[in-house]
Amino acid sequence: MGAFERVGKRVLAFNEIVGEMLMLLGQTVWFFREAPRNLQSVFTQMAIIGYETLPIASVMAFFVGMVLALQTGVELQKYGTQNIIGGIVGLSMVRELGPVMTSFLVAGRAGSAMAAEIGVMKVYEEIDALKTLDINPVRYLAMPRLIACLICVPALVIYANFVGVLGGAFMSHLHPKIFISYSTYYDSLKTALKFKEVGAGLIKATTFGGIIALVACYTGFKTSGGARGIAQSTTRAVVMSFMLILVADYFLTRLLM
């Protein structure tokens, strides 16, 4: 009976978390109408999430593209089919690796910072002070972050895809076992990559951006217990974001196929 009770409590806790996150999402979307009056906050979050992530995203995407080209190119060369490597790298980046890896990067860097910042405000009662001043915390804190993520994550994914494809071209041309021309690489990429593939990747990126902002804000608002609680909330935000991104990636892949 004890085991069933523990399972039941966990199910109830899970349902409670899902319900609270959906409520937070609904309230945040409702306050989108206030965005024109909070453009400064939105631009600030866009700079943190987008602009400051560009250097790390560049390194990550370039080397992911190089590794893709190296791994597949060496194997394809055994069968004399290395000419299609551009399409393989492009499709891999646009469909999966670009959206997923970039979202992981944003969740680990910006999502953790969001959760920690809101968590500090919650622990030190700054959120209660906002309520005292008749400022809605969801409008003031969650709404700008969600809008910024919905804009910046797809933009970062487009940039990461481009850099990853360049990394693949660089490796494919310079590696002695692969060695294909840039024009051959581009022709293969152009043949394989369609607008539908790019659109599917951007749908994933937008969804993942919403997940990152929602999870970070939710864990921040639920923070308690001082410095230890802030650390736990930050860790929880990153882990939960990673898990939900992978789950959403599976269902979106099934749906978009």
Q: Would you call 131 helix, strand, or coil by DSSP?
A: helix
The reported pLDDT for the residue numbered 164 is 95
The reported pLDDT for the residue numbered 81 is 78
The reported pLDDT for the residue numbered 257 is 77
How crowded is the C-beta side of 245, counted as CA atoms within 13 Å? Answer: 31
Which residues have a Cβ under 8 Å from the Cβ of 102 and sit 6 or more positions away?
Answer: 57, 60, 61, 153, 156, 157, 160, 205
The reported pLDDT for the residue numbered 235 is 93
Q: What is the pTM of this model?
A: 0.91
Single-letter amino acid, residue 139: R
Query: Does residue 221 contact residue 122 with C-beta atoms inside 8 Å?
Result: yes
- Identify the DSSP state of 225: S
Query: Does residue 88 contact residue 194 with C-beta atoms inside 8 Å?
Result: no
Query: Does residue 198 contact residue 91 with C-beta atoms inside 8 Å?
Result: no
The reported pLDDT for the residue numbered 83 is 85
State the sign of the Cα–Cα–Cα–Cα dihedral 245, 155, 194, 88. negative
How crowded is the C-beta side of 220, counted as CA atoms within 13 Å? Answer: 27
The reported pLDDT for the residue numbered 159 is 96
Instruction: Please name the residue that has the structure tokens 């939105």.
Output: 42
d(CA 80, CA 31): 57
Query: Does residue 204 contact residue 249 with C-beta atoms inside 8 Å?
Result: yes
Single-letter amino acid, residue 66: M
The reported pLDDT for the residue numbered 76 is 79
d(CA 38, CA 46): 13
pLDDT along the chain (257 residues), means of 10: 64 77 91 89 92 93 93 82 87 93 94 93 89 90 95 96 94 84 89 88 95 95 87 93 95 90
The reported pLDDT for the residue numbered 8 is 65
